Structure 1
Amino acid sequence: MNGVELFLLGRTLMKIGEEALPEPPGGTGRYAGSTRLVLVVASDIADHPDTAVGEIAARTGLPQSQVSSAVARLNEAGSVHTAPDPADRRRLLVRQADEVSERVAQVRAAGIDEALIAALGSDEPRRLRQVTEALDVLARNFLSPSGTPGPRRGDTVPSSE
């Protein structure tokens, strides 16, 4: 695999992930492209609790207006909480919610089998199991325990049989 193939694989996996997410509330159909934006912001908040919108914008390279919009959506879904910064009451600090909201639980519980079957064009159990196991290995090596980017320390890659 080369860098271009890895990049294209990453984009394909993102699309499959979007397909695996449950429909947004209100039956408005699939998510708009803003789903990636919200997930990037949520990931940054998970890695940097008690952070300001401007700091998220600086770390992610996203415009502050888009970060504010994403934080508002996450707050509405019960995924994050905002509070005034004690050092500067004009700023809001954002952190993950202590309790998982019903909507967040629904999104996290969404399975990927249907989206993988559609992407593979096959429901052959052996092939589906192989792909799912490969994704599990990648997740263990490239996602933190909170599900955000970053290697997990102490995890080992299972040996191939």
Structure 2
Amino acid sequence: MPEPEGGSGQYGGSTRAVLIVASDVAAHPDSAVGEIAARTGLPQSQVSTSVARLKEAVVTAPDPADRRRLLVRQAPELSARVTEVRATTIEDALATALAESTPEDRKEVTDALEVLARHLSPRSSTRDTTAQAPR
């Protein structure tokens, strides 16, 4: 898994910036680094660094209108890292994180995560907010 922002391991540096850039590239294929920087509010140097870190997940090509600029888009094939992350289940992550815990503890954590997911999902923001809370 990538390290938190500021980490210095294999995926060190600003993980948050990389995620922001990856999301922008997915939403706006064939964008120049400067355009990504303008949309995201990140410094152009940080966008360039993030694109470099995403080398397996994105492809770059010269802009036909201005050969000095590079356009960035998602790679047509999933990188090994994306495939690895998608193959990892919550159970695998919990087993690793809670290696010293009991099966009952892991079930309790899983149940709590399910409650959080239900309340924090995008659909939860559209629920009826006019309902009265129990008294």
TM band (smaller chain): 0.5 to 0.7
- 1:72-112 CA distances to partner (integer Å, 9 max, x unpaired)? 1101xx10111111222111111111110212211333344
**Could you report, residue by residue, the CA deviation over 1:41-100 in whole angstroms, capped at 9, with x for unpaired residues?**
11111111111110111111111011001101101xx10111111222111111111110
Letter of the 1:90 counterpart? R
Aligned to 1:79, which of 45, 57, 63? 57
Taking only aligned residues, the RMSD between alpha carbons, in angstroms, comes to 3.2
Which residue of the other structure, out of 88, 93, 110, is the alignment partner of 1:129?
110
- 2:132 corresponds in structure 1 to none
Q: Secondary structure at the match of 2:110?
A: helix
Distance of 1:30 and 1:83 partners within structure 2: 26
Alpha-carbon offset, residue 115 of structure 1:
7.0
CA distance in 1, matches of 2:18, 2:97: 22
1:100 to 63, 66, 78: 78
Contact 1:22 1:110 in 2 (8 A): no
- Structure 1, gaps ≥5 residues long: 1-20, 143-150, 157-161
> 1:159: which partner in 2?
none
Query: Identity of aligned pairs, percent?
Result: 58
Q: Indicate whether 1:67 and 2:47 are aligned.
A: yes
Aligned residues: 117
TM-score for both structures, normalised by structure 2 = 0.67
Tell me the residue number matched to 2:35: 55
Shift of 1:138: 6.0
1:35 equivalent to 2:15? Answer yes
Stretches of 4+ aligned residues off by more than 6 angstroms: none
Over residues 9-44 of structure 1, what are the superposed CA-to-partner deviations in whole Å (9 max), with x where a residue is unaligned? xxxxxxxxxxxx167xxxx74743411111111111
Could you say if the C-alpha distance between residues 72 and 139 of structure 1 is closer, same or farther in structure 2, counting changes exceeding 3 Å?
A: farther
Match of 1:3 in 2: none
TM-score (norm 1): 0.58
Bigger relative contact order, structure 1 or 2 (CA pairs below 8 A, ≥6 apart): 1
Gaps of 5+ in 2: 128-135
